[in-house]
Amino acid sequence: MLDTPIVHFDNVVKKFGSFTAVEKADFQIARGEFLAIMGSSGCGKTTTLRMLAGLEDPTEGNILLDGEKINGKPTWERDTPMVWQSLALFPFLTVQENVEFSLKMRKVPKGQRRERARKWLDRLGILEFADRNISQLSGGQRQRVALARSLVTEPKILLLDEPLSALDAHLKVRMQSVLSGLQKDLGITFVYVTHSMSEAFSMADRVVIMSRGKIEQIGTPEEIYREPRNRFVADFLGSSNVFDGSLKSSGNEVWQIETEHSSFTLKAPSEVQKTDGSPVAFAVSSENMSLAAIGTPWAGNSIEATVVGGEFAGASATVFLETDQGQELKVQKGHDELKTVDIRAGQKLLVHWLPEHCHVLPGE
């Protein structure tokens, strides 16, 4: 029993009329895992979560919770509490009554209800507000009430729909550590829907990236970051430069790729097989690119590009360049490294990187 995944999406499709919101979602969620589902708005991430909660019914396929098929089972018969983006706290009830709500629905006797609610309020550090009205609480306090209300039944799984989006940046970071701490202590499964990469990548064990109803990639944050599966993921992460070309020669050690710019050398990927002449796309992380003055001798890959702008916020700077062929490039470097090059707009520079920093996108 413990080996079965807590959740199994078995080829789940959701259509609203002729619009396909979720296309063949097929994945499993392990017990005790923190899974983030990430994508821009309208990508189907919330619909996926709502199907798990029982607020939408899949059009095709099955959803298994703890090995049991739950399609068609109404949400009030599942134990899949959700933390809502709007929080959806009951404004006519006190904090304590809000937290007691699901126990009341399960006909837990009054004394026990009170005790269990207070235990959770205490655990989340808001016991002193038990008798307040919701309208008297701050955003962060409301967040904690919403968490306590969902956790009071001690469910096996907790669903979170962009719960931090209404908080300011400072509180967001604090609540992130509260959430991941809570998840580790409780050992229950969290399914967390977000459009924010920093939230997903800092908290989750695994991340699902969705776009237009399709799952683009599932993996640990590190896997996704180092080895984006396709152009969408590489672009979505926003820190990679993607080049298109065709395979000129594939040796055991290195591949030569012919692009519109010039020929580039890659370390041969072990997991991708391609025949000579077939199209290849590869990504180079903006952190792995360096800048130098034109004419600097360089043994690896290099390309000439013109500076179009820069962002100098925080610990590192991002320089935006454009090649003669019109492709945009991003280079992210520490301020110290940039001191040696002239990065005024209009300046031509040499962008260079090592063959081992090229990642072939296997899904392209």
Partner 1 sequence: MTGNRNPLINGLLKLHITLCLIFIFAPIAGSFVFSLNSDRFPSLPLGSFSTEWYRLIWEDPLVWAGFFNTLLVGACVAAIATLLGFGGAYTDFRYKFFGKPVYLALALLPPTIPVVIMGLAMLAFLSRVSLSGNVISVIIAHGVMCSPFAMAIIRLRLSQMDPDLEAAAWNLGGNEWVTMRHVIIPFTKPAIYAALFITMAVSFDEFAVAWFVSGLNETLPVKVLGFLQGQVSPRINAIGSLAFVSSISFIVIAQLLMRNPESKPS
Q: Residue numbers of the site for partner 1 (CB under 8 A)?
A: 53-55, 74-76, 79-82, 84-86, 88, 90-93, 101-102, 104-106, 133-135, 149-150, 153
Contact status, residue 332 vs residue 317, Cβ threshold 8 Å: yes
* 67 or 74: CB nearest partner 1: 74
CA angle 32, 179, 7 (to 5 degrees): 30
Residue 215 exposed, middle or buried by CB count within 10 Å (0-12, 13-18, 19+): buried
Supply the minimum distance, in Å, between the C-beta of residue 75 and partner 1: 5
In sequence order, the 6+-apart residues with CB closer than 8 A to the CB of 190 are: 33, 34, 35, 157, 158, 160, 179, 183
* 84 or 225: CB nearest partner 1: 84
Supply the minimum distance, in Å, between the C-beta of residue 116 and partner 1: 14
Q: How many CB atoms lie within 10 A of CB 4?
A: 14
Supply the minimum distance, in Å, between the C-beta of residue 105 and partner 1: 4
* 162 or 364: CB nearest partner 1: 162
Supply the minimum distance, in Å, between the C-beta of residue 108 and partner 1: 10
DSSP, collapsed to helix, strand or coil, labels residue 147 as helix
Residue 331 exposed, middle or buried by CB count within 10 Å (0-12, 13-18, 19+): buried
* 134 or 207: CB nearest partner 1: 134
How many whole angstroms separate alpha carbon 14 and alpha carbon 358? 37
Cα 53–chain centre separation: 20
Supply the minimum distance, in Å, between the C-beta of residue 325 and partner 1: 49
* 54 or 269: CB nearest partner 1: 54
